[in-house]
Structure 1
Amino acid sequence: MTQAREPLSIMDGNPPNCDFSTKTKRGMYVSKSLAVVVFIIFGLALIATSFIVYNFAACPITDQLANVTKYELHHCGDQSKLLVLPISTEHNKNVLPLDTTPFPTTSEALETEEPVITDLRLPRTVRPEKYNLRLTPYIFEGNFTFDGELSVVIAVKNATDSITFHGVELTFKSIKLYEKSSGRVLRIVQRTEDAPRQFHTISLNETLKKGQRYVMNVTYTGILNDDLHGFYRSSYVEKNVTRWIAVTQFQATDARRAFPCWDEPALKARFTISIARPANMTSVSNMNAVGPPTQHATIKEYVWDQYAETLPMSTYLVAFAVTDFKKMSDKNFAVWARKEALSSAAYALEIGPKILSFLENYYKIKFPLPKIDMIALSDFKAGAMENWGLLTFREIAMLYDGAISPTTAKARVASVVAHEIAHQWFGNLVTPAWWSDIWLNEGFASYVEYVAVDAVEKSWKLMEVFVLNEVQSVFKLDALTSSHQISVEVYNPEEIGAIFDKISYGKGSAILRMMNHFLTDDVFNNGITDYLNAKKYGDAEQGDLWSALTNAARKRGMFDADVAVVMDSWTLQTGFPVLNIVRDYETNRVTFSQERFVLINNTVVGERSPVWWIPVSYTTGREKNFTSTVPKLWLRGQRTIAVTNITIDANDWLIANIQQTGFYRINYDMRNWKMLIDVLNDRSRFESIHPINRAQIVDDAMNLALAGRLDYGTALDITSYLVHERSYVPLKAGLVALGYIDTMLSKGAHYLEYKRYVLSLLDGAVADLGWNVAANESVVRAQHRMDLLSTACHLEHVDCIEQAVRMYANWMLSPNPDAYNEIHPDIRSTVYCVGVHTGGAREWQFAWERFRAAGAPSERELLLSVLGCTREPYLLYRYLELSLSNDSGIRKQDTVRVFSAVASSTLGQPIAFNFLRGNWQRVKDYVGSGATVNSILKVVTRWLNQPHEFEELKRFVTESCQDLGRPVQQVLERTEANVQWMQRNYQTIVHWLLKTTSA
């Protein structure tokens, strides 16, 4: 909507200058006849001037374009408005000259403010059915462009005299439109561009008939950009030679950068793709190649690869790559990587077919394509992408070398591969109708990756780790009032990109796990299969999933409610509840009440707080039944219920939300908390509580205290039991919860007391695990060691520091440190960081040289993180500068990692924040992505906790960051919560620590 302008005199705050003086007005007088003559002369002059301006304006007329072969999109005037754009007539012989009259100059067109875009959906008058796409990329220095030829069959749904489609950074040579049945050419009279919505519209001199099909042919050129989206270029160095490749990343709205298209998920079509490539390279796409390569007609060094027609699919899933990579294959499964790294793809090739087989049985639907290719890319903004039949990965997410990679990297590869293969059904076979339901894609894949890997690699116990990585992790974001619904409306590409966050992934997966548990595996899995079969090759909304699950439950008599009623309370409301459980120990009456859990305690809750359908499972000290997660009662959108049928002794504890399957926190009355503290601190009894529930108790208590709902004395008393905890999940949950206090106290006078307390908890566990890594250790034990040693050295555990310094020094003394490194990969992160931290420029430079020489992606990623461990400010500034240079060896995709590494210490955080403020526009221009900028801002502000720091942040946001939307509001809210926490809790915690550490 465009606001009407106010008169300038009012806008600038001054009243209209009206002269009510009675003085005689001075001036020159003319007669009426002379005035008429002057007016006529003036009018003629104005008309003449208009003709002159028109004929020599910046927008040339069609005749001036007759000999132009490549005509750049010509932006006249305000580039944010609709533009009428000519097309070269040399390539458009059958199209009559276009009307090149400049877009009418209206008051709206003269506005300087960007319009608010509230409708970015394409008109539904036509729908694409088949694309035939031919691309010739030029992959060599000085000409990173591509030529495209597109033929698309269009079905008319409603009569129209125009066709609108997407296109960004494409230079159109010609556009032709034919009637499919007769081949008759239709006259295109005009093309306009709506730049803010990335629309192009061709207007016709006749009406397209409903039910008819037409063919639109387009020739165009595009840019192989270096922004890691669309059709882009990437490079790697092999034997000191830079090698270039061309690859794609189209999700969410970047297919339009590679070819004109209807770039919305519901507008599925079939694609036939042909790629021209240098004869010494290879190409790969969604489908299998058809026939041998054929010679390119005009470029003798090039050949054509043609691929089979796809099944109906969304544009964002189209993919192709031109590389000089090599491959390994196992029947219909292949992995691709640069030659030197191919051996590291062996594990991905081993586990990929296992995951595929498991998921075919899980979904009860065979994978519908003839093959799967997985390709590891040096430059890739996302972790991985599920393009149908061609999965693309960042190298670190697909390559694993047991001699160099830490054991945990194996789990990472397995999980990412499982995530992307899970998408082949949930997302590819059935696709959300619009991005507001992207959680159906990402939430489901995030859940199923754990289910699949847990089935294939049973010893890893990944379903326990799920609680740490997904449930407890996403609580932190969803506790902000600036969080968002799982299913949320989005209006432009930046907003679409912003919802690919922990809410869509983590919370989406957590509520699916919750639903799986309250419906049971049988109902849940059968409902999923019914949903996929009903909607395959089409699009769906979350209501379609709810209907399928409701029907599956009713067939088996397992659930008496409508799934939509239950689950809409979780997907259409922001946040999550805290379930308060208050026991009357005399009457045995138990009251359950719910309200939204929010981080900042002055947020309005109470009667204005939303309510959820909450499944409540529980057990008691007598039962100790942590196996059954089926709910024993429900809060059916009720704010409070009270029950008297729970059999429990007054001196017996109650634990609710078994294995934390429900997406909510629990707050007990104080007597029940005390009983839980007693059992946890009893070395002989604490393991009677399931490890997930031990993790839940610690995490809930510490975060309830953080939000002011539980006193910190009680919460910290619970953490004291960690001294005898040895299981990974609860100990990790405790370290994460205590880590917030670490961050808040690290700049204060009593950090020493905090360090003493936490080290007293970890001494036994650190001694048990030690530094010696046994052969074939489990992934969980390897992760446990990494976390404990990292924390111990961070807190300056004497033995930890001495061991790490010695190992780093020995490595530096090696005559060939790149070829010989005796530090085990599982402990390198700790050793490297301590070595850089305790040393100076020499130790930092040594790590930098190892980064420059490293070939393994896991080693490069590790070194990028530890280079931020130095205590030398000038080295931190140097490191940040290097991250913004294309020539440094730091890839653009790793810029966030560098800022995060620098900002991870009390010394580095203000350096990173000040550097970002001082180089704001430079950083934005370099990374070229709003999502990346948001991530950088988040990591450099996470330590801010003083009122003056919050004021500086607000001022910076007001001046520079207001265009970043919801993510920047989350940064502000998190910082405000930090400030409030310091004001409310600092003295309480210091008092508790002083009392505890002096005892």
Structure 2
Amino acid sequence: MASKDREILPDVFIPVHYDVSLFDLQLSGSWGYNGIVKVNGRVTRPTKEIVLNSKEIDVKKVEVYGEDGTKLFEASNITYDRTSERVAFQFPAEIAPSDILLSVQFTGIMNNAMAGFYRSKYKPIVEPAADTPKEGDFHYMLSTQFESCDARRAFPCFDEPNLKSTFDFEIEIPSGQIALSNMPIKDERAGRNPGLKVVSFERTPVMSTYLLAWAVGDFEYVEAMTQRKYQGKSIPVRVYTTRGLKEQAQFALECAHRTVDYFSEIFEIEYPLPKADLLAVHEFAMGAMENWGLVTYRTTAVLFEEGKSDTRYKNRIAYVVAHELAHQWFGNLVTMEWWNELWLNEGFATWVGWLAVDHFYPEWNIWSQFVAEGVQQAFQLDSLRASHPIEVPVRNALEVDQIFDHISYLKGSSVIRMLSDHLGREIFLRGVAAYLKAHAYGNATTNDLWSALSKASNQDVTSFMDPWIRKIGFPVLTVTEEPGQINIRQNRFLSTGDAKPEEDETIWWIPLGIKSNPDFTDNTHTGALVSRSDIVSGVTQDSFYKINMNLSGFYRTNYPAHRLTKLGQSLNLLSTEDKIGLIGDAAALAVSGNGSTTALLSLLRSFKEENNYLVWSQISTSIANLRSVFAQNDLVSSGLRKFTLELVSPAAEKIGWEFMLEDDYLTVQLRKLLIGMACHAGHRDIIAEASRRFSLWATAKDKSAVHTNLRSVIFGAVVSEGSDQEYKFVKEEYLKTDSVDGKEICLGALGRTKNADLVRDYLDFVFSDKVAIQDIHNGAVSLASNSSSRHLLWEYMKAHWDMVESRLSTNNVVFERFVRMGLSKFADHAIEADISAFFQNKDTSAYDRALVIVADSIRTNVHYKARDEGLVLEWLQSYGYA
């Protein structure tokens, strides 16, 4: 998209450096503050007006000074455009092209919207410093969240990613509090009043406004030094928390300092700042934010307490820490030129985050996890008409919040993995390093990355990657067999299976990765499909073959029915990634009508002996979708439950309840998954044991009866199967738990209730001030996944919309996520029509893309249900399940 097609600030003033000073912070009540921002820059042509970005800021006075420090003008008029989030300063005479200093005095608000400069409430676990902000029952910390367009909420600025500048920052705070920013502290001095101090920080490198950050609170930290030397000395890496939590940051610290060294090595550029801080923030809309030198995290993405936290969170922390530290180079050092190339930041950081975790924890089988979670989620969204290209046109930056989604992150990282596998990882990383060196401290485009990779690999990367980035959707490869050869054809894959000719014009470059030797000797066909269809010779219908080895390519494969059966009988010849891909493809093709649900069910029966957690994870996901779509047909629903019970029971009974010291991470996760699947399918003995353990725990007879790693399973089972009493116990646990992951686990379990009165109580609770806004979408996900209760969520939303909107509209990211996740699971045309009618006369600008996804998802489910419901029932009856 050319710059002329974007709604950007007038280019009459180009900023070079900011001095930002904040003072008079009101740490309760109004939560206001005063500030002065001084911007050095150049006026490029004669002008009587300078326009900046500003939101929820009240500008008091504006002055312009010449290069020699002489005051030239004071603004004669200040006007606001609330819609475009701009403020314009008009001056009494023209400012000539020259270097000037623009000085703006303003007031702002430390909001509670998790955007801009905001406050987070929490209940401390130890006595905080006496001057820690407090209001009512809660203490507060302060921090910032500026990506994508919220630096303007903290101070007036030129809030566009290519308008890079350096920053000096200072803030006046209570003497007992700690202030952090991107750079180390330069100086502390007495404040304007007793009990206050002014903390100033070293000047930042050239960077975008969205990467500026600061925080104030009753902080403490754990620290480690990098093993590598940077300009002759190690760099301090710290994880900051509010007082009393720092020991829970040890695992994140271990990950962080090693990851800084690892990325310095593979990117061939040393970490560019003198320190690396990570900060746990109590209220946080996203998972984390890559502010340069001061990365902020949701608590569950950075804190872990041995013996109290689910080990799954270790996996999450290692990845999120790596993802955000990757951004210190890929995004911060080199920044996308405009928001349409958001994927350059997020797709790459996602892939290289997994790469780092695999490097440090190879026993976790990370790339199989990526295929099961990342690739499959990307497929799901990208199979909808409501999807968008990886590189999506963004006319107005205020649109960008809705493309922080599975396309930018997960499809982006999936196609990077595909390209890396094709070029070879060493060559790929060599090209990435060249790209970073060429554009350090500047902005770059997708084509700049392709050029660097083309030069490193001596291949025309642009030509074969361009459709993957700039075209919507992905292909399905349909296979037909003939003697001595197979025929393959590519077409756009849609979950509704009805791509129109104009939707199916893209010809993708598709790496085939065909494995055709059962002994797994060197017999891989590494060619690519570069036309609509082709013939692959040497692969016969009588022999074993598997296309898209390890699911390296981002496409589905549609085999003939008998070949799918054969592959189900040859599981010993398949990698974990292959098995995951086989199940995922069969499930998706059943939905679209390219395959059948009966073929999927027959394939799933082949996996009774499976013992890999990640394969079972894909099985669980596929079955959950089947049970969700066909939930309203009692015969089919009952039959699928019996099918699931027969499939999972042997594995669940074999793995048992007891954790052993020698259990590795994947075994721990497998036990939790299998027990959960068995409970959900109605395994009476396992449900009874879950209830027994819960009773011992709830009555305090044996608090160890509910293992840390089984809280989500046991709580969910007893809430789903039990009475008001179990529900109330888990609700009380939510309110009093001091486990960092406890609230997420309890909230998810509470949403499993089938009792309509308790569902309504749950929703009242979720939207009360007892639940943080950041967690509300977890409630939506839990209820939406519960086929017994999801309609009650929609009825509640309609009946209480003013309250729902008021609670969520302060943060568009949370609002969009709630709408999308809460309403996408229905399989009923009437509900789709009801949703459309309900939102018709409402301002849906914060979540309009979500509503398109919801409508598309429901239509997909409706078509699938209508087409396959009878066939599924026949199959279930023929095998004695119904």
Which amino acid counterpart does residue 160 of structure 2 have in structure 1?
A: E
**Conserved in 2, the CA contact under 8 Å of 1:333 and 1:373?**
yes
CA apart distance, 1:694: 1.5
Separation (CA, whole Å) in 2 of partners of 1:786 and 1:838: 18
Amino acid at match of 1:516: S
1:966 aligns with 2:849: yes
Return 944-953 or 268-277, whichever deviates more. Answer: 944-953
2:369 to 465, 479, 485: 465
Question: 1:187 Cα shift?
Answer: 4.8
- Give the deviation of 1:595 after TM superposition: 0.7
Does residue 134 (structure 1) correspond to residue 36 (structure 2)? The answer is: no
For residues 404-415 of structure 1, the aligned pairs below 5 Å read 404-415=308-319
Is the 1:172–1:220 Cα contact (8 Å) retained in structure 2?
yes
Q: Residues 456 and 566 of structure 1: is their aligned pair in 2 closer, same or farther, counting only changes over 3 Å?
A: same
After the TM superposition, which parts of structure 1 deviate over 6 Å for at least 4 consecutive aligned residues? none
Q: Give the equivalent residue in structure 2 for 1:926.
A: 807
- 1:239-388 superposed matches below 5 A: 242-291=138-187, 293-297=188-192, 299-331=193-225, 332-388=236-292
3-state SS of the aligned residue for 2:653? helix
What is the deviation of 1:194?
2.3
Alignment partner of 1:722 is 2:618: no
Alignment partner of 1:832 is 2:715: yes
Residue 998 of structure 1 deviates from its aligned partner by: 5.4
The alpha carbon displacement at 1:307 in A equals 0.3
1:668 and 2:559 matched: yes
2:121–2:141 CA contact under 8 A, matched in 1: yes
Q: Which has the larger radius of gyration?
A: 1
Quick check: 2:149–2:398 contact (8 Å CA) kept in 1?
no
SS of equivalent residue, structure 1 residue 466 = helix
Map of 2:773 onto structure 1? 892
Deviation at 1:962, TM superposition (A): 4.7
8 A Cα contact 2:474 2:555, kept in partner? yes
The CA deviation at 1:782 is: 1.9
Q: Say if 1:606 and 1:269 are closer, same or farther in 2 by CA, change over 3 A.
A: closer
Q: Equivalent of 2:836, from 945, 949, 954?
A: 954
Task: Look up the match of 1:748.
Answer: 633
Counterpart of 1:667, as a letter, is N
- Pair 529,348 (structure 1): closer, same or farther in 2 beyond 3 Å: same
Q: Matched residue of 1:723: which SS? A: coil
What's the CA shift for 1:729? 2.4
C-alpha separation between the residues in 1 aligned to 2:398 and 2:59?
25
- Alignment correspondent of 2:790: 909
Residue 158 of structure 2 aligns to a residue whose secondary structure is coil
The more displaced of 862-871 and 388-397 is: 862-871
How far does residue 157 in structure 1 lie from its aligned partner after superposition?
Answer: 3.3
What displacement does 1:982 show? 1.1
| 1:581 to partner: Cα distance | 2.1
Identity of aligned residues (%): 29
Aligned to 1:773: 659
Superposed CA offset, 1:180-238 (max 9, x none)? 2352413534333222211222233444444x210011111101111110001112113
Distance in 2 (CA, whole Å) between partners of 1:194 and 1:253 is 15
Equivalent position to 2:872, from 989, 994, 999 = 989
Cα separation, 2, equivalents of 1:735 and 1:881: 30
Give unmatched runs, 5+ long, in structure 2. Answer: 128-136, 226-235
What amino acid is the match of 2:123? Answer: V
State how far apart, in whole Å, the 1-side matches of 2:719 and 2:564 are: 43
Answer yes or no: is the 8 Å Cα contact 1:757–1:997 preserved in 2. no
Which residue is equivalent to 1:60? none
What is the distance in 1 between the residues matched to 2:874 and 2:340? 47
> Quick check: 1:578 aligned with 2:476?
yes
733, 738, 756: which is aligned to 1:873?
A: 756
In the alignment, is the contact (CA less than 8 A) between 1:494 and 1:930 conserved in 2? Answer: no
Question: Equivalent residue for 2:229?
Answer: none
1:41-94 CA distance string (max 9 Å, x none): xxxxxxxxxxxxxxxxxxxxxxxxxxxxxxxxxxxxxxxxxxxxxxxxxxxxxx
Distance 1:605 1:653, change over 3 A: farther
- What secondary structure does 2:735 align onto? helix
Distance 2:523 2:756 in 1: 54
Selected match of 1:222 from 108, 112, 124: 108
656-665 or 238-247, which deviates more: 238-247
Following superposition, the deviation at residue 969 of structure 1 comes to: 0.6
Q: Are 2:716 and 2:752, in contact at CA under 8 Å, matched by a contact in 1?
A: yes
Once the 2 structures are TM-superposed, how far is the Cα of residue 164 of structure 1 from its aligned partner? 1.3
Equivalent position of 1:802 in the other structure? 688
CA contact (8 A) 2:285 2:814 kept: no
SS of the counterpart of 1:826? Answer: helix
Contact kept, 8 Å, 1:923 with 1:933, in 2: the verdict is: no
Q: CA deviation at 1:764?
A: 2.2
Q: 1:139 to 1:776 in 2, by over 3 A?
A: farther
2:827 counterpart residue number: 945
Give the TM-score of the pair, scaled to structure 2.
0.94
**Given that residues 377 and 392 in structure 1 are in contact (C-alpha distance below 8 angstroms), is that contact kept between their aligned partners in structure 2?**
yes
The range that moved more, 541-550 or 162-171, is 162-171
Q: Distance in 2 between matches of 1:947 and 1:667?
A: 28
Instruction: Using the TM superposition, give the Cα deviation of residue 878 of structure 1 relative to its aligned residue in structure 2, in angstroms.
Output: 1.6
Question: What do residues 876-929 of structure 1 show as CA deviations (whole Å, max 9, x unaligned)?
Answer: 21221122222xx21111111122223332232111111111122321221123
Q: Is the 8 A contact 1:873 1:911 kept in 2?
A: yes
> 1:245, 1:324 within 8 Å by CA — same for their partners in 2?
yes
- Are positions 1:197 and 2:84 aligned together? yes
SS at match of 1:866: helix
Q: CA deviation at 1:675?
A: 2.7
8 A contact 1:654–1:672 mirrored in 2? no
Out of 505-514 and 493-502, give the one that drifted further: 493-502
CA distance 1:457–1:564, change in 2 (3 Å): same
Residue 716 of structure 2 aligns to which amino acid in structure 1?
C
CA distance in 2, matches of 1:357, 1:607: 45
CA displacement at 1:788 relative to structure 2:
1.4
Query: Per-residue CA shift, 1:407-442, capped at 9, x if unaligned?
Result: 111111111111111110011000001111010111
Specify which structure has the bigger relative contact order, considering alpha-carbon pairs within 8 angstroms and separated by 6 or more residues.
2
Counterpart secondary structure, 1:977: helix
Letter aligned with residue 276 of structure 1: E
Deviation of the 1:840 alpha carbon:
2.1
Aligned pair partner of 2:11 in 124, 129, 136: 124
**Superposed displacement of residue 607, structure 1:** 8.1
Secondary structure of 1:459's match?
helix
Instruction: Count how many residue pairs are aligned between Structure 1 and Structure 2.
Output: 856
Decide which moves more: 368-377 or 844-853. 844-853
